[in-house]
Amino acid sequence: MMWSVQLVASDDPGGRLTRQQYIDAWKDEAIAHMHKYGIPASIKLAQGILESGDGNSMLARKANNHFGIKCHGWNGPGVYKDDDAKNECFRKYKNARESFEDHSQFLLKPRYTELFKLKSTDYKGWAHGLKKAGYATNPKYPQLLIRIIEENDLHRFDRAGQGKGRVAQSKPAPQTSKPASGKGGEIDFHLGRQILQTDNRAQFVFAREGDTYKGIADDLQMNKWQLQKYNEDKSVRTLAEGERVYIKPKRNRAAGASVHVVEEGQTLWDISQLHAVKLSRLERYNELTRDTPLRKGMQIKLSRR
């Protein structure tokens, strides 16, 4: 694994991301993976920051590899660079989201099993456990992660939607309860569906394997047209597992982040879903349409500012 990266990103005009921009761009993805797999959002963000140099490393820019995962057991494309040995192979992804998913799958290997017995708020235990399990060769790896987490208050994301079950756990029985509050999100259970809120308080659920808008609407005693309206999607497609589906209208602006840096293959609708901002607003703020092709690295305004 990579570990010799800068701990502080510069805010220069050469297209480099600052640390705060990286956090704003990927905190929701880290939270989603925490709910899906049980990996603390703070740990995932800190590893991404450390391994990718705030998204500015060669691997992040050329291979969309944010976690320094090497090609061992990998059948996909790779890029080569010196690390523990000369000219080592690192995995190359179509987009950064694939990197986040592969990182989660990587941590589901048996040698990391003990980590999932820890609480999702025990970031120190996770940091030391990763080193003990052999994730990194740097003897100071745990301290580096903990420092990044504490200096940037990343542990606040570990309580977003506190109480949400993991994929590996059994699905909750149908019930209703008062939302359990946490910084950056809330959770409720309704008819077996886990309902979350984004930082700007837009309510959503994660799609399960084989889900459709109609299936989710039936579960929540809603109409299919309502979900299609809230998600600005008139299709009747099968939804991707883990896809965010809004059950209330999205908002007029994002919470926190003011811009989004486009990843390879992203559309304006993808960005709208990621930040819970109405597509019509993004079109207005950026003078674009939903069908306008976006270039990797473009900055999309998430508010009128």
CATH number, residue 76: 1.10.530.10
Pair 92, 77: CB distance under 8 Å: yes
Q: Which of 1-10, 40-49, 221-230 has the lowest mean pLDDT?
A: 1-10
Nearest alpha carbon to residue 19 among 10, 28, 27: 10
Residue 67 lies in a domain: yes
Asked whether residue 242 carries a pLDDT value surpassing 70, the answer given is: yes
Q: Which two tokens stand for residue 119?
A: 């609480």
Domain count, the chain: 2
Query: Do 151 and 279 fall within a single domain?
Result: no
Contact 92, 81 (CB under 8 A): no
- Do the domain assignments include residue 248? no
In whole angstroms, give the CA distance from residue 19 to residue 55: 8
Asked whether residue 30 falls in the same domain as residue 139, the answer is: yes
* Domain end residue (candidates: 107, 128, 159): 159
Q: Which residues contact 287 (CB under 8 A, 6 or more apart)?
A: none
Specify whether the CB–CB gap between 242 and 253 falls below 8 A: no
Query: Domain limits at 283?
Result: 259-301
Query: Residue 233 domain-assigned?
Result: no
d(CA 173, CA 6): 46
Q: How confident is the model at residue 113 (pLDDT cuts 50, 70, 90)?
A: confident
Instruction: For the chain, state the CA radius of gyration.
Output: 19
Q: Identify the three-state secondary structure at position 12.
A: coil
- Provide the β-strand partners of residue 88: 81
In a domain, 169, yes or no: no
Domain check: are 28 and 150 in the same one? Answer: yes
Above 80 in pLDDT, residue 289? yes
Q: What is the pLDDT of residue 126?
A: 96
Task: Indicate the average pLDDT of the chain.
Answer: 81
Asked if 262 and 270 touch (Cβ cutoff 8 Å), the reply is no
Structure tokens at 188: 């409720």
Last residue of a domain, one of 159, 192, 225: 159
pLDDT of the residue at 192: 52
Give the pLDDT band of residue 2 (cuts 50, 70, 90): very low
Residue 211 in domain: no
For residue 287, tell me if it sits in a domain. Answer: yes
Is residue 179 within 8 Å of residue 187, measured between CB atoms? yes
Do residues 152 and 265 both lie within one domain? Answer: no
CA distances from 109 to 53, 67, 104, 106, 133 (A): 25, 16, 9, 6, 10
**Scanning the structure block, which residue is given the tokens 């994301």?**
157
Q: Are residues 154 and 264 in the same domain?
A: no
At 169 the pLDDT is 27
Which candidate, 230, 231, 226, 202, places its Cα nearest to that of 214?
Answer: 226
The CATH number given to whatever domain includes residue 289 is 3.10.350
Q: How many residues does the chain have?
A: 305
Task: Please state, in angstroms and rounded to a whole number, the distance separating the CA atoms of residues 264 and 95.
Answer: 5
Q: What is the pLDDT of residues 50-77, one digit of tens each?
A: 999 999 999 999 999 999 888 888 888 9
Q: Are residues 40 and 154 in the same domain?
A: yes
Q: Determine the pLDDT at residue 3.
A: 34
Question: For the residues 29-44, what does the mean pLDDT come to?
Answer: 90
With 70 as the cut, is the pLDDT of residue 10 above it?
no
Q: Which of 140, 159, 178 is the last residue of a domain?
A: 159
CA 210 distance to own-chain centroid = 21
Residue 70 placed within a domain: yes
232 in Cβ contact with 269 (< 8 Å): yes
- In angstroms, the CA 80 to CA 140 distance is 25
Are the CB atoms for 285 and 302 separated by under 8 Å?
Answer: yes
In a domain? residue 150 = yes
